[in-house]
Every structure is written in C-alpha cells, then in structure tokens.
A = this chain, B = another copy of it.
Amino acid sequence: MPLGQRSFDNSEARYCGAEVEFSEDIENALTYNLESSFDFIVAPLTNQDFRPSKLKVSPLGSAVPPFAGSDLVLSPAQWSGHVVGKVSSWLDLDSAEDLVRVDSETTLKLELGWAAHLSLQACLLPTPRPLNCGNYARCVNQALQGLAHMQLWLRIPLQSPQMQEAEDTPEEETVFLMRDSITGWPVSDSWEWWNMFRMLCEHHSHLSVALDITASLPPASSIMRWIGEPVRAAILHTSAFLTNKRGYPCLSKRHQNLITMLFNHSVQIVLSGEPLHHLDESDLSPNTESNGNCSEDAANARHPLKPYLEYIAYLYRRMEPPTEQERFEMSYRDFLQAPLQPLMDNLEAQTYETFEKDSTKYSQYQKAVHAALLDRVSESEASTTIIVLMVVGAGRGPLVRASLKAAEEARRQLRVYAVEKNPNAVVTLHSLIKMEGWEEMVNIVSCDMRQWNAPEQADILVSELLGSFGDNELSPECLDGAQRFLKEDGISIPSSYTSFIGPITASKLHNDVKSYNDLAHFETAYVVKLHNVAKLAAPKPVFTFHHPNFIPGSDNRRYKKLVFELPEDTGSALVHGFAGYFDAVLYNDVHLGIEPSTSTPNMFSWFSIFFPLRNPIYVPVGCKLELHFWRCVGPTKVWYEWAVTAPSVSAVHNTNGRSYWVGL
C-alpha cells in the first residue's frame, strides 16, 4: 500500500519495502509484509549456507540449488511487483582466496539468472570492497549485458563504516583523508567505491545504487552528490531512528530532510534491521487502523517494523504540495530537448501559446519599459513627445502589449513598430492590433530585423531573443543588425545579458545522451529541466553582451577560461557536463534570469541548458576543474566549443561546430 495519496506523485517513492531474512516459505513472508502495508520485500533468493564448491552432486548428475521455493509459489505479477531479489551477502568476488572468489562468481551468476527467470524488477547487490572491486564489477558487467529489464542495485553505505567509527573522534579528519595505496583515492569515502564500480561497468543504465542509511550522516554537500547519481532505493536502518517522548521511533531533523529529499527524487525507502523500539500493545492501538476488529492472531503478528513504516508514511504525507510552476515542470524533469532555432525556423503557435503564459516575464519587461520611458522623457515633455519604440521579434504581440501598458502607466506617448519575421505570427499580430484598437499606435512590419529599412530611428528597441544560455539564440547577431535603426543615444531592452555555467553530476542525462550512440549527441547542448542533478559548484559568468554596441571592430566571438573549486567536504565527484543559465539586465535594476542564485521567481519560459562531456570527468577531492568555453562565429552559423584541461584533459568538443550549431 503506497505511503500516501499525493495525486501528482507517480514516482516510485510512494512505495516502501522491507528487507527480510531468507525464508523457505517466501509466499507467506510476502503476504505477511503486504498485509502490514509494505509494498514489497527485499529477500534473499538462496539459502545463505549454500556454497557451490560444497554442493553434492547426485549420482544422476543433477543438483538443485537451494532456492526459495520454485517460481510457482508466487504469481508472475507477485514476483515482479513485490519482490526485490537480494544477492547473497557472503559473496566476495574480490577475495584473495581463489575458492571464495570462484564460489562467489558461480553463485552470483546463479542468483542473477534465477532472478531474471522470475522477471524481478531489481536485485540488490552486496556492498563491494572499498576500492577493490575489479572482479566483482567485471562479473556484474557481464551479467548487465544480458539483462532486458532487471535493475541491479549496488548497496553502498551513505557513510562508510570507517567514517561512522571515526565520527566525532579526533581521528575523523585522518580517516577522511586516508588514501588507498594504489589508486591514491580517499578510501573511506563510499562514493569512491560506487564510482570505481560504475566506471568499470561503463555507466550501464541498469546499474544503480541502494544507499544504506544509519544514524551517522556525512556532510550535506557530500550527500548532495548522490542526487546526480542513479539512486533507486535507500535502505533505512532501525538504528537510524531516535525515540520520541512517547517511545515511538522518529528521525533527526537532518534525517528527515534527507528522507524528504529522497522522496522528491523518486527514491524508494526500504526499512531494515531489528526493531529497537519495543512498544506496549496499548500504545499501539491508537495507531492501528483496524483496532477492535482484528483477531488475536493478527495482533500477535503485528509487523515489528510497522511503527517505522508509519513514521515514514507520516513524513511522506506531510510533504509540501508542489507549486504550480513545479507541477508544470514535472513532466519535463531531466528530459533532453533540442534548443530552439528561432532564427532559422519559425516557431509554432503552441510554442507562442506556452511562452505568452509566462506573466512574470512580461511584467518584468513592462517594468523595464516603464523605467526607460520615465528616464527618456521628462514629465514636462510627456505630452508633446512621441517616443519611437520598436519591438524586434514581436511574435504574436506580448511585448507590444507590455510596452503599451508601461506607456499608459507612465503617461508617455508611444509610436510602436512591431517587427516580426514569421509571417504566420504576423497574422495573429494583425488581428490582435485590430481587436485591441491599437491601429493608431502600432505599425506591423513583416520582415527580418536584420534586413528591414526603418522609416525612422528608434528611441527604444525592445527584444526578447534570449535563449537559456543568453546569447545562444543569436540575440547578439540580431540586435547588432537591428541597432542600425536605433538612435545613437537610444536604449536597448535588454541592455546586457550574461551566460553562467557550472559543473554537474547528471548520470541520467549522460545515459540519455549515450543512448543515441553517436558523437554528435555528446557535442550538442540540450534544454532541460534539471532535477536528478547535483550542482557541484556555484555557476560562474561566461560571456556578456551589451546593447547597443557601437564600438567599431567589436565582434561576438568569445573565449573564457573558468576554474571551479568544489567545496572541500563534498569529496570527489564525477562531472557529466555543465549546466548553463543566463541573467539579463533589461533596464538598470530590472533584470530577468534563471541563474539559480538570482533567478526570477515564477518564470517558466526557460529551463537550463546542458553541455555534456563525452567522457565524464572524475574530480578527486581538493582538485580544481578547469573549463574552456568558446563562442565561435562563421559566415552562416554560430557555435560553441568546450574542453576541460584539469583535473584531466578532454578533447575539444564540437570542433568547427561539426555536431551542434545555430544557423544565422
């Protein structure tokens, strides 16, 4: 039974599981747990005493491995819907003892084969040895090649046992910095164990993480790394719980925040361990849903983890409902979109429709025009001066509307030119003007702003040609073309814009790009609502453009070198690429943007942009990340190139715009 009813939440996070012991009678074990409101169990598939090398082969040459019943004891739907297989935890594929290693290899193969036969959705793999998992990863990688649907969850402690032990002792720092003698990596950082394993398995999309959560938690920025990793489950141990005044289990504030964060990122909770809160029957009754009616038997059989489940369900249900913007964006989360090419292509009506709904954006424009009008014409001249305002890229008219509103509010007089190159949008524009009775004030020009011969010079040029990365929809080139008809002291709204970029862990996006199986997709930027993504360092400014720009000989090519430092307590991280944003100064202090630290609230016209790396780059703890970014301009196109030179050197991406470019 799901943890609660949140109509908008279709993610796996609704379901909660229980880790159970091996049982010959898995049918009963499942029923018992489902009846106690768990949604699934994580159960061993074979008797834990089984060792292939000790297997007695019958005289007839057949030997039945000690599986938990036959595939017939549960229905296919029960197996696949309610059982996660747990690979034997005695397995040690990197043991120095050949016998243990070979026994482990054989058993792993046997158990995964059995789990696949049962069509289980997932199997839980035991924790690898710290930074010593070469053979384990190799065997799992072999198995991954043959899996159609089944996910493999690699069990990783959120806090390594070494760190748990050292916590709050003088050794803490020492343990944190302890290096593996061969790789040189921090051996007590469990993320490193995962990273080595998945690198060996080549980021396979069926390999994911199940995080073990106990009482001790690593620093926040260390936890944050996991958001960008494929975490499917969190195994929450009873030892992680505190006891409240009434004797019930509850979680610390930090644990609560962690669980909420996990819910928000579609991570399922699995409860595990012995019950540590022994409550009286009488204490329990107010919480049981079927009190009174339940038989003695059922009461005796009350699930020992039930109080923990109830607390988790309580956390789930009390989460804040998503805002309107979040609801709108939910279906776009981590979904790669090709950026628009509004200069080469004409937008569709649906696209205009969506963007025009973004009232925040237009109200910012209105504020900017308002301020510009007041600065441009003094109160005393207001009645005698007509200000020429040109909207370049008028679309279906929202900026015309915003400008007229601003003029009305400011009591200034306007003559508006609405320049639009898309003839289809011009149709709508005409009918809008007519409908609103703006014929006297607004002239419609159906023309590319770069070619238009304006009948007069403008005081104010209003445009909204910004992409997620600021200049990536060629606003600079368009406005350079349009400023011919701006007065020398004229105003451009926006007056400047800056792109921003920062490194991210984004395994889901990486795998989506990889699935295209070509180079071009790894050298393309994508518009994407970033969600299961870890932002590893604060974004930094990249390129800035000012308008108007009458400086002779200036051009729109740019080059920027950026150095990022990850917070020390993050630990190491894997960079799959870079998230890009913009901030635009519309006029003076009126700005508009999506750079996280200054982003305009309640605005949904822009998602971030994602620049992938062909090979994800491992950034060891304490190392700097050096990124180069170029904006290149050719006769017919504009493109970006990017490369990393520290801590390791990547190839230059998108050389000559071979994979991704924006047409002029």
Contacts and interface: CB of A to CB of B under 8 A. Distances in A.
A628 B138 contact: yes
A135 interface: yes
A141 to B, nearest CB: 5
A368 to B, nearest CB: 30
Interface in A610-630: 615, 618, 623-624, 626, 628, 630
Interface string A175-189: 000001011100000
Contacts of A563: 182
Given A199-B650, A559-B101, A618-B648, A138 B183 contact: no
A648 B646 contact: no
Contacts of A195: 649
A647 interface: yes
A119 interface: no
A183 B655 CA distance: 23
Nearest to A622: B184
A265 to B, nearest CB: 25
B145 A650 contact: no
Nearest to A53: B553
Interface string A74-104: 0000000000000000000000000001000
Contacts of A645: 131, 134, 182-183, 196, 200
B649 A200 contact: yes
A137 interface: yes
A647 B145 contact: no
Nearest to A642: B138
A288 interface: no
Given A134-B643, A559-B101, A145 B182 contact: no
A146 B655 CA distance: 11
A138 to B, nearest CB: 5
A632 to B, nearest CB: 8
A641 interface: yes
A125 to B, nearest CB: 16
A651 interface: yes
A312 B613 CA distance: 47
A656 B137 CA distance: 13
A643 B196 contact: no
A434 interface: no
Contact of A138 (B101, B184, B646, B652): B652
A53 to B, nearest CB: 9
Interface residues of A, number: 43
A142 B656 contact: yes
Interface in A446-501: none
Q: Considering residues A141, A618, A650, which has the most beta carbons from chain B within 10 angstroms of its beta carbon?
A: A141
Contact of A646 (B183, B630, B641, B647): B183
A195 B658 CA distance: 24
Contacts of A333: none
A200 B650 contact: yes
Interface string A183-225: 1100000000001100111100000000000000000000000
A620 to B, nearest CB: 9
Nearest to A646: B183
Interface in A130-164: 131, 134-135, 137-138, 141-142, 145-146
A219 to B, nearest CB: 24
A637 interface: no
Contact of A615 (B137, B184, B196, B615): B615
Contacts of A630: 135, 138
B648 A648 contact: yes
Contacts of A628: 134-135, 138
A641 B138 contact: yes
B199 A649 contact: yes
Contacts of A182: 563, 624, 626, 645-646
Given A628-B138, A641-B138, A145 B656 contact: yes
A202 B647 CA distance: 17
Given A142-B656, A615-B615, A641-B138, A647 B184 contact: yes
A630 B101 CA distance: 13
A561 interface: yes
Contacts of A648: 618, 648
Contacts of A658: 145
A564 B651 CA distance: 27
Contact of A652 (B137, B643, B651): B137
A145 B615 CA distance: 21
Given A134-B645, A182-B624, 14 more contacts: A101-B559, A137-B652, A141-B652, A145-B656, A182-B646, A183-B646, A183-B647, A184-B623, A196-B645, A196-B649, A199-B650, A199-B651, A201-B651, A618-B649
5 contacts: A135-B628, A138-B630, A182-B646, A183-B645, A200-B652
Q: Which 9 A-B pairs have the closest CB atoms?
A: A199-B649, A202-B651, A183-B646, A134-B628, A182-B646, A141-B652, A138-B652, A182-B626, A182-B624
